[in-house]
Amino acid sequence: MNKSTLTAAILLSAAVSCGKRSDTPGYAGEDLSGKVTVSRDREEKTAVLTVTLPGKWELYAGAAPETIDLSAPILTGSGAGSYTLPVPAGTRSYFQFVTGGNRAILAERQLPMSGGFNMRDLGGYRTSDGRHVKWGRIIRSDDLHSLTDEDLVYLASIPVKTVADFRSPQEVRAMPDKLSPQGMTYVGLPITPGSLDDLQSYIAMTPEEVEAKMEWMNVYFATSDEGRERYRELFRLLQETDDAAILFHCSAGKDRTGMGAALILYALGVPEQTVMEDYLASNGYLAGKYSRYAERFPQLKGMLEVKPNYLSAGIDSIRTAYGSVETYLREELGADIGKLREFYLD
């Protein structure tokens, strides 16, 4: 790992929900999202548990959510605090947190990539009917061009087996993905608008024009022949198998990927407020990636970030044309809602 390229250790957080203890890992009881988190140091990949709850608790660990060892906790404690976890740094672990009558599955939301910024697990989100998106199954990301060997080992431990790339052919040639030598299937799903190759065209625009262009772009993602075809293929990949993770990405992981993530979360029954929160989280994760562009061209700020009206423009266009997002998912994207929820919800 090239430590000289890192100016600080960045802690990466994960939102979780809690529930009652049972003989198998899972969720039950009161929803305590955000009160217990796991994070990983971006440089060392050290795992840290942060607790903001009163009372005694126990933490169990495993290499997969289904194989968490509940015979003995790896850590016990009482009350709030932050605790370094005795788990391997270079591979992913999953955890069950138990306190009183509540239990939860935990993992880091933002994956600790030394060579990436906006790689996030869609797991842990609570659905409208009280279930949760499985951890380690669906991952959204920015480009994979700068991933380190250690990053690729970490992804293989999940394991990520399929990589879907929304970038244009020009972007791919300029910054080809680095994939694990242990085997990842690469699928190109190019969507042309949203490419950072368009950066020059935005420089002459006013901030208002930039924002209008971003809204138009999200409508294009959702309703153009190109956009629908690419997202249709993404859902086909999701519905092929649930025994390994799929990672989908573009350059920044915020626009083409942001719409894709939103559509997946809608299909899984995640509340609209949570869908928007996940979409807007890119602003924090990408803060250091494009800062030099934002400083040099402040008029580009609206293009280098996401705003609620960007995603809303695309979703509103879907509702206008199809009546509901679910109808669009079923009729245009071939989404089998029942299968998706069977595959990806606990």
Distances (CA, A) of 100 to 37, 129, 244, 319: 17, 23, 33, 43
- Contact call for residues 91 and 157 (beta carbons, < 8 A): yes
**Paired tokens of 127:** 């659905």
Determine the Cα–Cα distance for residues 241 and 249; give it in Å rounded to an integer.
19
**Paired tokens of 273:** 């407020």
Which residue out of 15, 179, 250, 304 is catalytically annotated? 250
DSSP notation for 14-76: ---------SSS--BSS--TTSEEEEEETTT--EEEEE---SEEEEEEESSGGG---SS-SEE
- Contact call for residues 133 and 140 (beta carbons, < 8 A): no
**105 three-state secondary structure:** strand
User: Which helix (H) or strand (E) segment is 315 a member of?
Assistant: helix 308-322
Which phi and psi angles does 289 have, rounded to 5°?
A: -80, -40
**194 three-state secondary structure:** coil
Q: Does 250 participate in catalysis according to the annotation? A: yes
For residue 232, the Cα-to-chain-centroid distance in whole angstroms is 19
Closest CA to 188 of 198, 173, 200, 199: 173
Find tokens 């990408």 and name the residue.
286
- Contact call for residues 313 and 98 (beta carbons, < 8 A): no
Residue 158 DSSP one-character state: T
Determine the Cα–Cα distance for residues 109 and 130; give it in Å rounded to an integer.
19
Burial environment of residue 246 by CB neighbours within 10 A (0 to 12, 13 to 18, 19 or more)? buried
According to DSSP, the β-strands at 185-188 and 11-12 are unpaired
* Residues with active-site annotation: 250
